[in-house]
Amino acid sequence: MDDVVVLEPATSPVPDGEEPTVATVNASYTVDGAKTDASFTFGKSEGKWVVTGTSGVYSVLSFPFGEAVPVVEVNGTAVEGAVDGTYNTSSYPLFPGTYSVAIPADNTFFTIDEESSPPGTVSFDTSDILPTPALTTDFEESMTAFLTACFSAPASTRALECPNWRNNSNGYDSDAVWELIELPTYSLAYNNSPDQNPLSIWSDDAQVGMMHVSYHHDDGLFQAEDESWDVDFSTAFAGEYIDGAFVFSPLANTIEEDERVDSL
């Protein structure tokens, strides 16, 4: 925006002895060689005058994950947006023009998908955002650590969210041994809905994992033999944005705590 000229600043009438809190400023400006006249409304906020509205002058750049992306770069300049905590979005007023928007390189969580969001895009949603390599690595390390622990822990201390549970309500099976054959792989999906936990990352199955279970089966009457199976599995994970970082944890599995005693 160039050639800004303030034409008619004026404050709204107020009773004697009170300071004005609303002002109207008529101005002209030039964008890409085109001159525009506009009327701006100002209001007092914490003792300072700020623009609160215009007459159809600007559009709004809308960006998801307000808390995790508090700053974006607009035409190479870092700009801090107004964060809406209810909908987890940031908004930035823009004058008419074509803008290049980017997430700063020091943001370790997200980057913009340039194929779906070419220069000129001003409305972004979660489909336009990609996880950074650092966030993906953090998720994979958390997932691997959790699942590895699942296969080294006995049933008495194994987490209920682990995939390696087998119902044994009839008591015929014993001496179960679980082995992790192959870890699952995931892609990351985002939840920016105020109806659920704000700023969540969910894992979508890309490829299921494989585990092997062997145990002794004895029904006390007709069968007494060792059995083993290969079993496909997947475990969902969610990343919750807490104190400036995403903390990943597994979601609940089908096993209930009171079934633990009846399970292998």
Residue 214, φ and ψ in degrees, nearest 5: -130, 145
- Report the C-alpha gap between 111 and 229 in whole angstroms: 42
Q: Order of strands, edge to edge, in the sheet holding 245-250?
A: 185-191, 200-207, 237-242, 245-250
Q: Say yes or no: 114 and 124 in one domain.
A: yes
Q: How much is the pLDDT for 198?
A: 47
Amino acid at 109: F
Under 8 Å between Cβ of 192 and 88: yes
Question: Which residues in the chain belong to E strands, given as ranges?
Answer: 2-11, 22-31, 34-45, 48-54, 59-64, 71-74, 77-80, 82-84, 89-94, 101-102, 110-112, 129-131, 173-182, 185-191, 200-207, 209-218, 224-233, 237-242, 245-250
Burial of 210 per CB tally in 10 Å (0-12, 13-18, 19+): middle
Contact 6, 23 (CB under 8 A): no
Which residue carries 């979660």 as its tokens? 126
Rounded average pLDDT over 120-149: 85
Which of 59, 41, 62, 38 is CA-nearest to residue 51?
Answer: 41
Number of domains in the chain: 3
pLDDT tens profile 1-21 = 455 555 555 555 555 556 677
Task: Based on the fold, state whether residues 29 and 67 are members of the same structural domain.
Answer: no
Of 87, 110, 130, the residue that ends a domain is 130
Whether the pLDDT of residue 121 is over 50: the answer is yes
**152-184 pLDDT, tens per residue?**
988 888 998 999 988 787 788 888 899 999 999
Return d(Cα 128, Cα 120) in angstroms, integer.
13
C-alpha to C-alpha distance for 104 and 53, rounded to whole angstroms: 28
**pLDDT at residue 62 is higher than 60:** yes
**Same-domain check for residues 153 and 221:** yes
Whether 226 and 237 share a structural domain: yes
Claim to verify: residue 1 and residue 12 sit in the same structural domain: yes
Lowest mean pLDDT among 96-105, 126-135, 169-178, 237-246: 96-105
Residues 189-200 have pLDDT tens digits of: 776 555 544 456
Q: Does one domain contain both 34 and 108?
A: no
Cα–Cα separations (whole angstroms), residue 163 to 103, 120, 209, 217, 250: 37, 46, 10, 21, 10
Query: Does the predicted model carry a pTM greater than 0.75?
Result: no
For 206, the domain range is: 133-262
DSSP-based helix, strand, coil % in the chain, nearest 5: 10, 50, 40
Residue type, 262: D
Please report, rounded to a whole number, the percentage of residues in the chain having pLDDT higher than 90: 16
Same domain flag for 3 and 52: yes
